[in-house]
Structure 1
């Protein structure tokens, strides 16, 4: 997914699904700024502690509904989604810069999904199917704290 994102050193990246923080830590070495969101407060707090321990200061982590993105920080050069949506989420597509790339697994949560790369163009979006994958579903709202 990171390779398909084609991150550059001046890019601002939005990651949906902080999890352990591993992906955000990798991205932080490849780009200017990473915003990472997760619906589970405990995961965000644990990841933030790791980021501090590793002196990764270009990562901003927050508890948020990832299906809505971060409109206050948009637009983004790159968006990576680590949970499957039935279709690329409209709010995330809207937060992608022209020329920007989003990598997202799409499909039903109980079947094999397809990892796609979406590139925003001046006139719309181009979609490339990359491979079959299996991810947890993208869930709206916040998790229990």
Structure 2
């Protein structure tokens, strides 16, 4: 019996034994079966991307940005009531294009500058597979301390 796993950066699909198939007596005989299994796995993954709602992918991306921001935000010297909204433009690969724009200031210039610095340090923001570029080309980050 011969077993293998079709591997891709985003999925692993275990393929059934090909030994029970007529005429399969060695791993080399499994090649046509393995090729068909790999194609089926690729098709499955492509279809799975289309099944996930765009809104869910947007939420996943938002949580990822939030996590990356929290990983680089180390300044606890601000009031917990401060918040601001910063708009960024992203490349298809999640890199910041141009300068972040303050959409709504916190009223504290130092907090605003520190927030923009944290956004720049946290980038790039890698979008989840299947999320159309039009959904993350421009991102508003509502940052509250």
Q: Which TM-score band applies after superposition, normalised by the shorter structure?
A: under 0.3
Specify the structure having the higher radius of gyration (Cα). Answer: 2
Greater helix proportion: 2
Normalised TM-score (structure 1): 0.21
State TM-score, norm by structure 2: 0.21
